[in-house]
Structure 1
Amino acid sequence: MDNSIALVTGANKGIGKEIARLLAGAGLTVYVGSRDAARGERAVEEIGGDARPLVLDVTDAASVAAAVRQVAALDILVNNAGISGEGATPEHEDADAFRRVYETNVFGIVTVTNAFLPALRRSEHPRIVNVSSGTGSLTWSTGPQFPHRGTYAAYRSSKTALNALTVLYAHSLADDGIKVNALAPGLRRTDLNATSVASDGDPAEAAEGAVRLALLPDDGPSGEFFSWDGTSVPW
């Protein structure tokens, strides 16, 4: 993957920052997507290597278009930007709450992915990694061993929708050689929500799983859902 170029959305903090750090450490040029220019600049300084700041708000079509004009070539897109919303069950979250979460976690990914597809199609080894969540797995959600019962409804359903998009993109982009996979990063110590803030999970550990998918060989899988440790996750 020498001379490869990657873009990580929401990369000024948390798992996204660790993904960018690992990719830069592997010798890639990495665009660090951030809504806030100053935070992006600080993250780039901390990441080092050939990391480059890129102002990118996935919910703003004009911001996405401006970012596309700054990235002439792209091999890897990591759709990491996401928000959680409240930890409520669906009857306690109104439609506006769902819209806010879906705007970033679903519509934003469609906007960014479609905008950067021309660049990805020019790549010899194009990869898309969608950072999802194990809580978006319908199989796990309906299993007796799964502790979550209806909480974080907007967030979890948005990740289920993202999983469906992962499969659909993988199918539709197969002839272009673009591999598209989803990652369940596990509960990590980030500011996503109150549960994650209290976690002792290392974001860097999750980032390793994302990088593994970003650097898949040409005979690697596509249209699949993997945990951070490389094991398969049921849809």
Structure 2
Amino acid sequence: MTFFHFGNCVALSYVPYVIVYRCSGLAEYSAFWKCAQAAAAYLFTQLCKMLVLATFFPASDVPTGSLDVVGEFMKSTVDLTDLVGLYFVMTKIAGKGQLKFMAASMGWATAELIMTKFLPLWVGARGIEFDWKYILMSFDSNVSLVHHICTAMLVWLYSRSDLQKSLVPVVLSLLALTSFRPLIVEILIHAVGLGSWTLLLAKALFTLCTGLIALQIYLGMSVQTANSYY
């Protein structure tokens, strides 16, 4: 029974990644190696972030259970390094074409999934007692996949020279929101007292809104490019 629970959690976490990889066209272009290189870039970026956090942002003296907004804000600024890493992947590794942000985001999200979710699922989901938190963790990994795809799309849109000037502030605002999402989550936890499932719903709604706006801009640019071509 415990192994069945572990299998369900793994399927909920990893199968959507496989489906997105196969249905997005990445499999047809043999982009597996590009995704693997993006995953390696993710690991290097996280190592750099850990070094910066350990060097310039030591542990504060805030009492346990309290939220240090200023400290968390400064630490969240380090997450801007992820945007730089995604930009590097899309310009130096992922190749050409509009699918390169999919290759970058798939490799990035998969590496994060393996590094942050596999061990807790392996140790906890195979426990004696059933716990909903591992199902919650599996659903959260799906939200993270969409979040990384949206972030990579926004980075790709910002790097485009044909992006309309009026849309640049919108893209930059969305990039800032995606980068500071952990801080927003912490504020919601401490200020509003959201539960686990409610917090997951809030993350999903936040990602959905960001993704719809980014997708609208992306489709608009695609139509504009097609019209200029013809």
Please report the TM-score for the alignment, with normalisation by the length of structure 2.
0.33
Relative contact order higher in (CA < 8 Å, ≥ 6 apart) = 2
Please tell me whether Structure 1 or Structure 2 has the larger radius of gyration of its CA atoms. Answer: 2
TM-score by length of 1: 0.33
Q: Which structure has more strand as a fraction of its residues?
A: 1
